[in-house]
Amino acid sequence: MSVDTATVRHIAKLARIAMSDADIDALVPELNNILGWVEQLAAVDTEGVEPLTAVIDQKLRLRDDIIDDGNIRDEVLANAPDAQHGFFAVPKVIE
Amino acid sequence: MSDLTSKAIADLRSGFRSGDFSAREVATAYNAAVAAGRALNAFTVETPEIALAAADAADAARTSDDLKPLSGIPLGIKDLFATEGVDTTAGSNILKGFKPPYESTVSGKLKAAGAGMLGKLNMDEFAMGSSNETSAFGPVISPWKRRDGGNAALTPGGSSGGSASAVAAGLAAGATGTDTGGSIRQPAAFAGICGIKPTYGRCSRWGIVSFASSLDQAGPMAKTVRDCAILLEVMAGFDKKDSTSLDLPVPQWESGLSSDLKGQRVGIPREYRIEGVPVEIDALWDKGVEWLRDAGAEPVEISLPHTVHALPTYYIIAPAEASSNLARYDGIRYGLRELGDGGLDGLYASTRAAGFGAEVKRRVMIGTYVLSAGFYDAYFTKAQKVRTLIKRDFTQAFDRCDFILTPTAPSAAFALGDKSSDPIAMYLNDVFAVPASLAGLPAMSVPGGLDAHRLPLGLHLIGRELDEQGVLNAALAIEERAGFTHRAEKWW
Amino acid sequence: MVNDYRIQGDTGEWEVVIGLEVHAQVVSNAKLFSGAATAFGAEPNTQVSLVDAAMPGMLPVPNRECIRQAVRTGMAIDAKINRWSRFDRKNYFYADLPQGYQISQLYHPLVGEGAVTVLLDEKDEGSARTIGVERIHVEQDAGKLMHDQHPTMSYVDLNRSGVALMEIVSRPDMRSPGEAGAYLRKLRAILRYVGSCDGNMEEGSMRADVNVSVRRVGGPGEKEAELGTRTETKNVNSVRFVMAVIEHEARRQVELIEEGGAVAQETRLFDPDKGVTRTLRSKEDAHDYRYFPDPDLLPLELEDEFLAACRASLPELPDAKRKRYEGLGITAYNAAVLTADVESANYFDNLLDGLQRPEFAPDAANWVISELFGMLNRTGRDISKSPISVRQAAELLSLIADGTISKTIAKQVSELMLDENSGHFGDDPTRIVETRGLKQTSDTGQIDARIDEILAANTDKVAQYKAGKEALFGFFVGQTMKAMAGKANPAVLNERLRAKLAA
Ligand SMILES: [Mg+2]
Ligand SMILES: [Zn+2]
């Protein structure tokens, strides 16, 4: 499998990274190089092998249903590029 | 290096406790070293006042007989760890100016144990790199120089390059690192210091900027094996805020240190003899086997047949996880915001285009692609299956041996710029380190010797799950026999 | 029959195929992956932890209660509970989604296949339809965007961000707006019985994505494999609107196809003011969510003990309760009405407990439905705020059962208890009966005297009765009762009257 300009443009859109045509053109061979290299895995026999789900065998712990967080609006908003009236502000979204 | 800044943590600890010097003297010496070492570009932020405050608290604690394990020890903290009120950027423009209102669990434990923070350490952007050249703050320079007359600036390795350079140059007594696919061990090897990545889940990931969640582990970097044991004991431990944290008591690794390896078997994986690796590295590996035999261990040949697929497996899984983990850097709640063409999507795309560097973009693109519709099974699921096989290889190998010895990296430190144009050549740096990361196993680099250019080379020990002690002990046996006391000559 | 819902097109008859994805907010104190509160209506961004705001390095830790409630919900619809499930990330960018992904469950949901049985006609068991539920998975809610606070900016409130939702996905088993409505109401009832969701659609605790497609009646496509192209209308927040969406979408799709067009697989939005749906996004710019297992979370494995505790904690569910009520002689319709919502069912159960006369259950049901519910409806009160407490209702019904008052008097007493201006609002019925002297009498002397007066005043009717017009008996009863101000024991009155008329 290899990627072309249109695919890379689509991926950049999915990843929300603005790219010029020149950026895209430069990335096509780079990504193909890496993808070509990782594709060697296709040759590995994984018949009947389960994908790894936990690196170290352990079970998910569950938390008690206790309110022990929140009420820290100032901390939550402290680093915001644009906070207004207790909200994060973003360019108007039309739904 | 002053007398104080050349000391190991264990010696600083005993000297401070017995009253040979005060913590303030130590902190002052290190603050001066940090300021004098700016040419190395190891720090992104210097916090001399924080180091002094901790030192004063340590001095007071000594008077009141209330010493903590790391009282009087000044450390550097990798910029991937959130530090309350102190800029935390993960080496990225997208987080420039971010001051977390919280402290990572691991750095918080170090602070609570009395350690002082000298500053935040430079690193590859979001820990993606093996040379520290992807940092938004510019590359870290290794204190080491080749002896061939060339004066090329060398890489300290990456992504914990700032940590490696700072410890090697005496700018910090020890440092935190993080290791996703070798980011503690490879720079430790390049800089002639020790570094251990514990079992996945030993150190809490809470408050550490995520790169690839299923691989990320914090660990210490320091001059000696003992120092690593001292620091790791403080850094490790269960954290209910991290679902992958191991709910196990922390062993007393320091007091458990022993270089007597009688009755143990050291596995030598035949697949790690890789073509193109310099003979000096193979020679050092052989020497390592001899040192371990001398310590009482019996060498056995083992096979890890799927490790040849470890790097491509890693370069599917890590970018996939990263592409998702880095989605939160969107210009809305913190960090950089570029408005772009005005709309919300424009804001996202412009912010991320301006905020991420080339390697991060490359990996986010790869990760996005391998998870996208139609490719997920062929890439991601396949890689997770191979990962199962890689882990199984280790499980089977540990039926035949107690720990594994390999070289840490396929070369000594290279010059800045040497590999930055060839991503795959750069990725190959972690060929020996990545398999243990994929399997979540404890692994450590310990200095073994110098190459022909008089640059440090590391030996790499991989242990069973949770057997950090075995890894530390084998490293200690090598440390004692290698007699590696070399330090970079001060030029900065 | 609702089952025969058909769209009459220009070229023939069409059937509509409906599936619903219901998002139900789990009742819990704290969020799914953080310790921030979930209460509705707080000041913006006050119920937000660093985890909910997706600060760098923050990690999710799941809330046991949210898992427990989803498991109990699954058990309540007889679904398969998966002992091994896993959280996946659904990746997309939006201003209300701080992580850039929603933690959800795609590949291995917590709850597998189950079913909900609905009655299309409450009086008719034969109208039962079983709607398949494909799965229930647990996921995070997103934050909220506000567009009307600033001319050029939208505001983001993350209070809802991370609140636990159950997504309950039905099979495309519904064939009419009525069926969809019945399914939603039944599902809401079950959730409220179980206590896993408050079902408050106005506050957004329950909302539905409505999947609609159409196909020709009798043409190819009667089998599931041959469904038409469907549209999904997102976030519809009332039963009425869901039904409106289906009607509108079905008609729109039929017209589109009959005009030679094709239905586009797309996401649509409902405009409640205009009663129409419109395109939100087409398939071309549909998201590619890049689902993959969340590496911050291990697989979720459930122990026997946990599952047993979940099962043991399940209450009697609507269908079982309805059957039990019918077994007590309550009519099918009354049983359906009483069990439709957990609050009225609880009220009635407590009433039966207080009454301690199972044989009186049908009368109690009648009283609750016609008197109490009727009055609550007229005064716009909720059963939880009934001025007649369960204890008082039991007392009142006991007074009827033991013959202290008649049903007629009981009606009077209830009205006094429910009327804020009666001077008896909220009073105990015994007290009202006493102070107003409403006790019924079996004193034959009194009753005989009244009967004699009535018969004397109506000699013509007495003659007619004796000539065979027996229907007049009721007239004499009514007149006598009226003269006794309703207080005569009806049995005694009947007996004495019959005796006098026979004399
Ligand atoms: Mg949906
Ligand atoms: Zn959903």
Q: Check whether C2 has a pLDDT greater than 50.
A: no
Of the candidates B102, B353, B372, the beta carbon closest to that of A18 is on B353
Query: Which residues does chain B have within 8 Å of residue A46's beta carbon, measured at their own beta carbons?
Result: 382, 385-386, 389
Q: Does B212 touch chain C (CB under 8 A)?
A: yes
Of the candidates B101, B240, B332, the beta carbon closest to that of C156 is on B332
Give the closest residue to C474 by CA, choosing from C488, C493, C487. C493
Q: What is the ipTM of this complex?
A: 0.97
d(CA A89, CA B329): 15
Q: Check whether C487 has a pLDDT greater than 90.
A: no
Chain CA centroid to CA C230, Å: 27
Pick the CATH number of C444-502 from 2.30.110.10, 1.10.3720.10, 1.10.10.410, 2.40.170.20: 1.10.10.410
Residue ranges of chain A with per-residue pLDDT less than 70: 95
Give the closest residue to A37 by CA, choosing from A68, A1, A11, A13. A1
What is the structure's pLDDT at C1? 43
Closest approach of chain B CAs to the CA of C54, in angstroms? Answer: 7
Cα dist from C305 to B3, C71, C81, C301, C311, whole Å: 61, 13, 14, 12, 10
Q: How confident is the model at residue C19 (pLDDT cuts 50, 70, 90)?
A: very high
Angle at the Cα of B226 (from B224 to B232), degrees rounded to 5? 105
Q: Tokens 């606070």 label which residue?
A: C149
What is the structure's pLDDT at C121? 87
Cβ neighbours of residue C402 closer than 8 Å, sequence gap 6 or more: none
Q: Which two tokens stand for residue C51?
A: 């985890």
Of the candidates A17, A34, A42, the beta carbon closest to that of B364 is on A17
Q: Tokens 């394990």 label which residue?
A: B69
Are residues A49 and B385, on separate chains, in Cβ contact within 8 Å?
A: yes
According to DSSP, residue C37 is labeled B
Q: Check whether C254 has a pLDDT greater than 50.
A: yes
Per cent of chain C over pLDDT 70 is: 97
Q: Which two tokens stand for residue C166?
A: 């159950």
Q: B100-155, pLDDT tens digit by residue?
A: 999 999 999 999 999 999 999 999 999 999 999 999 999 999 999 998 767 899 99
What is the structure's pLDDT at B151? 84
Mutate to test the interface with C, among B106, B200, B316, B333 (most CBs of C within 10 A): B333
What is the structure's pLDDT at B275? 84
Q: What is the DSSP string of chain A?
A: ----HHHHHHHHHHTT----HHHHHHHHHHHHHHHHHHGGGGGS--TTPPPP--SS--PPP-B-S---S---HHHHHTT-SSEETTEEEEEPPP-
Are residues C99 and B328, on separate chains, in Cβ contact within 8 Å?
A: yes
d(CA B365, CA B144): 35
Cα dist from C295 to A87, B180, C138, whole Å: 30, 13, 17
Q: Does A46 touch chain B (CB under 8 A)?
A: yes
The predicted model gives C374-403 an average pLDDT of: 90
Residue B226 forms beta bridges with which residues? none
Q: Which chains touch B (3 or more CB pairs under 8 A)?
A: A, C
d(CA B312, CA B274): 16
Are residues A52 and B387, on separate chains, in Cβ contact within 8 Å?
A: yes
Considering chain C, tell me which residue range(s) the CATH 1.10.10.410 domain(s) occupy: 444-502
The predicted model gives B84-96 an average pLDDT of: 98
d(CA C29, CA C41): 14
The predicted model gives C483-503 an average pLDDT of: 87
- Would you say B163 and B157 are in contact if contact means Cβ atoms under 8 Å apart? no
Question: Residue B371 CB: number of other CB atoms within 10 A?
Answer: 25
What is the structure's pLDDT at C287? 82
Q: Does B339 touch chain C (CB under 8 A)?
A: no
Please report which ligand is nearest the Cα atom of C235: 1
Q: B171-207, pLDDT tens digit by residue?
A: 999 999 999 999 999 999 999 999 999 999 999 999 9
d(CA B413, CA B141): 11
Distance of CA C238 from the midpoint of ligand 1 (Å): 16
Phi, psi values for residue B259, rounded to 5°? -95, 10
Q: Which two tokens stand for residue B153?
A: 């600036």
- Would you say C160 and C131 are in contact if contact means Cβ atoms under 8 Å apart? no
Question: Amino acid identity of C120?
Answer: L
In a domain, A22, yes or no: yes
Q: How confident is the model at residue C68 (pLDDT cuts 50, 70, 90)?
A: very high
Pick the CATH number of B1-492 from 3.40.50.300, 3.10.129.10, 3.90.1300.10, 3.30.428.10: 3.90.1300.10
Residue B99 forms beta bridges with which residues? none
Give the closest residue to B102 by CA, choosing from B241, B8, B228, B283. B241
d(CA A22, CA A12): 13
Q: Please give the tally of structural domains in chain A.
A: 1
What is the structure's pLDDT at B150? 74
Beta C164-170 vs C13-25: how paired, if at all?
Answer: antiparallel
d(CA B112, CA B122): 23
Of B78, B109, B120, B145, the active-site residue reads: B78
Residue of chain A whose Cα is closest to the Cα of B337:
A81
* CATH number of A37's domain: 1.10.20
d(CA C80, CA C113): 6
Of B107, B130, B131, B183, the active-site residue reads: B183
pTM of the predicted model, to two decimals? 0.94
Cα dist from B476 to B175, B179, B343, C1, C105, whole Å: 19, 21, 58, 84, 46
- Would you say A66 and C30 are in contact if contact means Cβ atoms under 8 Å apart? yes
Cβ neighbours of residue A44 closer than 8 Å, sequence gap 6 or more: B306, B309, B382, B385, B386, B389
Q: How many CA atoms lie within 13 A of C245 on its CB side?
A: 34
d(CA C2, CA C19): 17
Residue B268 DSSP SS3: strand
Closest approach of chain B CAs to the CA of A17, in angstroms? Answer: 4
d(CA B389, CA B309): 10
* Domain that residue A16 falls in: 5-42
Rg (Cα) of chain A, in Å, rounded? Answer: 22
d(CA C96, CA C157): 8
Phi, psi values for residue B415, rounded to 5°? -75, 145
The predicted model gives B25-34 an average pLDDT of: 98
Q: Does B469 touch chain C (CB under 8 A)?
A: no
Q: Check whether C224 has a pLDDT greater than 70.
A: no
**Is the preceding omega at residue B2 within 30 degrees of 0, hence cis?**
no
Are residues C48 and A72, on separate chains, in Cβ contact within 8 Å?
A: yes
Phi, psi values for residue C333, rounded to 5°? -65, -50
Q: Which two tokens stand for residue A58?
A: 């352990």
Q: B227-283, pLDDT tens digit by residue?
A: 999 999 999 999 999 999 999 999 999 999 999 999 999 999 999 988 888 999 999
Dihedral of CA B170/B172/B176/B180: which sign?
negative
Phi, psi values for residue B470, rounded to 5°? -60, -40
Mutate to test the interface with A, among C45, C105, C138 (most CBs of A within 10 A): C45
Domain boundaries, chain B: 1-492
The predicted model gives B394-413 an average pLDDT of: 97
In a domain, A10, yes or no: yes
What is the structure's pLDDT at C23? 98
Closest approach of chain B CAs to the CA of A12, in angstroms? Answer: 7
Q: Does C101 touch chain B (CB under 8 A)?
A: yes
Chain CA centroid to CA A63, Å: 26
Q: C336-361, pLDDT tens digit by residue?
A: 999 999 999 999 999 999 999 999 99
For chain B, helix, strand, coil in percent to 5 are 40, 15, 45
d(CA C45, CA A85): 10
Distance of CA C212 from the midpoint of ligand 1 (Å): 12
Q: How confident is the model at residue C220 (pLDDT cuts 50, 70, 90)?
A: low
Of B71, B104, B159, B259, the active-site residue reads: B159
Residue C164 forms beta bridges with which residues? C140
Q: How many Cβ pairs within 8 Å bridge chains B and C?
A: 98
Dihedral of CA C303/C305/C308/C314: which sign?
negative
Query: Which residues does chain B have within 8 Å of residue A34's beta carbon, measured at their own beta carbons?
Result: 315, 362, 366, 423-424
